[in-house]
């Protein structure tokens, strides 16, 4: 038997009144299962799903990109964007 989720996420933003107080919930926020807004407006909430993604490092593709050139290595990045080129002038 599957247990009920402990946390939920807002799948549709909402503004409403709870006990005379205006509350706002924005899409993507995480709330407890016992949150009164989740019980009042259940269609605006869904179970929180956490996905973990890890890249595997290889010789050709390290996990962390090197930010600077190694000694003797040159980086080819092309011409820098100048104000003149940005405004359509060469």
| Tens of pLDDT, residue by residue, the chain (90 residues) | 567 778 999 999 999 999 999 999 999 999 999 999 999 999 999 998 877 766 666 666 656 666 677 788 776 666 665 655 555 555
Q: Which two tokens stand for residue 45?
A: 């909430």
**Residues near 58 by beta carbon (within 8 Å), at least 6 away in sequence:** none
With tokens 């706002």, the residue in question is 24
Q: What angle do CA 42, 43, 45 make, to 5 degrees?
A: 70
The pLDDT assigned to 18 comes to 93
Full-model pTM: 0.53
The pLDDT assigned to 73 comes to 77
The pLDDT assigned to 70 comes to 77
Q: What angle do CA 25, 22, 12 make, to 5 degrees?
A: 25
Q: Do 44 and 14 form a contact (C-beta atoms < 8 A)?
A: yes
């Amino acid at each position: 038997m599957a247990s009920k989720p402990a946390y939920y996420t807002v799948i549709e933003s909402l503004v409403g009144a709870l006990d005379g107080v205006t509350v706002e919930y924005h899409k993507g926020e995480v709330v407890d299962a016992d949150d009164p807004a989740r019980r009042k407006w259940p269609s605006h909430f869904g179970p929180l799903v956490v996905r973990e993604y890890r890249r595997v490092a290889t010789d050709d593709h390290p996990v962390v990109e090197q930010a600077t050139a190694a000694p003797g290595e040159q980086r080819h990045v092309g011409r820098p964007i100048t104000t003149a080129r940005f405004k359509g002038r060469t």
